[in-house]
A and B are shown apart, each in its own frame.
Chain A
Amino acid sequence: MAAKNIPMREALRNALREEMLRDERVFVMGQEVGVWQGTHRVTQGLLEEFGPKRIKDTPISEMAIAGLAVGAAMAGLRPVAEMMTINFAFLALDAIVNHAAKIHYMFDGQFRVPLVIRAASGWGNQATATHSHTPEPIFAHFPGMWVATPSNASDAYGMLKASIRSENPVLFSESIALYSRPAPVVTDDPDFVLPIGKGEIKREGKHVTLVAYARGVEWSLQAAAELAKEGIEAEVVDLRWLRPLDIDLVLESFKKTNHCVVVEESLPMYSFGSEIAAQIQDKGFDYMDAPVKRVSAMDVPLPFAKDIELMALPNAQKVIDAVKEIL
C-alpha cells in the first residue's frame, strides 16, 4: 500500500472527496465550507470540484443545518454537515440528540439517519470560555449515534470514510490542534475504511495503561516516551471512538498492566474518565493494583489569558505525574 505524509486536514479532505466521488448522495453543508474554502481549510477546493449543488454554504443557522441534514438523511441523502466549531453544535443539540439519535428507534426502524456531523474541537488558542469546549462525551451520552474522535491523519481518513458509509448518525470531532499534524495516509485504497468502534494500541507497554482519544493520545505518547527513559513502559490505548466504546481493548491491556491513567482533553465531571474508571472497576476489579487516575482539563471555564489557560489544561507532564502517583 502506498502512503503519503499529509496533515490531518488534508486527509479529511481526501476522505470527503473520495466518498463524494464514490457516492452521488453524499453532499457537504455548513458555514463557510464553500466560497471561503472552509474555516479550517478541510473543504478547500471542494466547491470548485463539485459545484454548489453538493457543497452548500449555509447561513449561520446551526439548528437548521443539523435539522435539515437529519431530514435529508431520512429521505435518502448522505449529508456531511459541518459545525464550524463544536461549540456551535450546542445550538443544534436538539436536532442532533432528539432527532438524529432517536428517529431510527422511535419509528422502530422505518427511517435511517445516515448523517455525519463534523465539528472542529478543542482549546489552547485563547479562544475563551464559550469557544473552547471539548464536549464529545456529551454527545456520547446518548444512545442512537456514534461519536468519532480520531487522533491522527490516517485514523481520521479511515474513520471519516467509515462514518460517511455508516447507516447511523455520527458526530465526528476533529481536534483543531491536530489539523496541521502530518502522518502517513494511504493514497491508493479508496476503501480504506476503519471499523466503527475499534480502538488501537498506539504503543505497547506492560506497566501502566494510558487510555485516551483524540489529542489525549498525543500527550499519552509523549508521556510514554519520557517514562520509557526511566524504565516505565506505558501502553497507549487509543479508543478512536467514544461510541461504540472498545472497552474490551482497555480491559485486555489493563489485565496485563494492572494500572490505568485515563487522559482526556475534556472536563473531569461526569466524563470519559469517569466512564472508563467505572467500567474498569466493574469488569476488571480483580486486576486492579491501584486506583484509576484521570488527567483532564481543570474543572473551570477557560480564560483568555494564555498562562492561566494553559495551567487549566492537560499535558504530557500531568500524565507523567499521574502515572508516578500510582506506580
Chain B
Amino acid sequence: MAKKVGIVAGSISRFDNPRHTLQEEMCAEAVKMILDEVPDLELGDFVKKGYACCYSYFSDILEQQQCMHWIINDYLGLSAVPCYRVESGGATPIDAIVNAALWIRSGMFPAVLVVGWEKMDELPIQKVNEAIAIAGDTDWDFVSGFTYNAFYATMEARRMHVYGETEEDLAQVSVLCHNNSLENPYAQWPAQHGFSKITIDDVYKSRLISWPYRLYECAMTSEGASALLLANEETTKKLTDNPVWISGVGFGSDTMRAGDRPDNPAWKGLYPEDEKIWPKHVPAPMSPYPDLCNFGALRVSARMAYKDAGIRNPRKEISLVEIFDPYAGVVLAGLEDFDFCKRGEGKKLLREGVIQPHGELPCQLSGALTAQGHAVGSTSVAQVVDVYWQLSNQIGKKWGAPGRQLSKPKKGFIHGHGGTGCQAGAVVLEV
C-alpha cells in the first residue's frame, strides 16, 4: 500500500473574534500562503493532475449558510475539482485530515488540499452556545438545561472525585496554554488581551462558568481559517525539500450522551487494565472505563494511530503533543487516554512539569483551544500546522519567535474530538 502521506505546506489565517472578514476571504488568505510557499503548485493542477479538496467546517447555523464549502471551493478558483465537506462537530477538522490522508493512501488522489474554517461572531453569544450545544442530543441532553460547559463540568467533577484532581490543576493547565500562546501571531488570546504572562490568580479571577470550570479554562469562540496540502510520497518530494509525514491516523467513537457510558456493555472488557484502576471509595459502574472520567473515543483513535505509525511507546517516541482541549481537564484526561500515563495520572505529568515547553513532552505549544482559539473547522487543522512547523523547523520563520522552536523534534501527536467525546480522530506526524 502507498502508505506515505506527506505534508507539503500548511498555513493559518489567524484566530480572533470578530474577524469580520468573510470565510472565503480567510480561506483565500490561508491558501494564498500555501501557494506562496510552493511555487510549483498551480491551482490549475487540481484538475490537470487529479488532486482533490476536503473541506472542514462545523456549523451551518452560526451564519445560517448551508453548503458553505461550495462558496469556498468556487472562491478559491477550484471549480470542477472533486471536493466534499467533512462534518463531525469538534472532530470535524481532524476527521477532514484523516479522511484526506486515507484518500491519498487509496491511490485515488496524488494530492489533497484540506481547508478548515469557522465563523462564530454573527449570533449573540447565548445563541452561539445554543448552536454548539445542539450538537448534543436535543431531546435528551440539551433540553435538560445543560450546555456543553455543564456536561464537561460534570465530567471534571467526576475526575476530581475519582482521581483527586484539583481546581489548581485545572488553573495550571490554563496558565500553561495561555502563556504558550503569547508569541503565537495566529493566536486569539494575545490579539485580545496583550502579550503579558498570566498566573493562576488571573485564572481564579476569571468568572465561573460551570463549576469547576472558569472562563479561562474554556475554549474561546473564534473565527479563522487554515489549510494543509497533503500529497503522496512522489508528489510531496517534488513539491517540497522539507517534508513532514503523516505516519499514522486513527478515529473512534462513543455514545452520543455522556450519561449512557457508565454501564455501556460495548466498553466492558475492552481495556481490562484500565478497569482495574478504580478507587475503593467510589462504587464502580459496570464499565469502569471510560465512565464519565475518561474519553473512550480518544483512546480508540490514539491506539489506532499508534499502531498505524508503528509506535510502541508513545511516551518515549513522541516529542510534542497538541490536545484538543475545549476545557482544561481534557488535557489531563487526554494524557491518560493517549497512553502517556495510566488513568488518573494526567495530573502527575502536569505537576511534574513534563508537559511544559521545556519538559519531556511539551503539550499545547500553540496555546490550543483556550488561547490559540477554537474556530471549530479550523482548530485541528491549525494544531496540525503548528506541529508541522515545529517538526520542519519553521517556527522561527512562521512565528517570528525562534526561541519557541523545539530542538530537533522527531514525532508529533495531534488529536481532535467532538461532542462530549462522541467522536475522535488522531494523527501522528514524523520528520
Q: Do A and B bind each other?
A: no
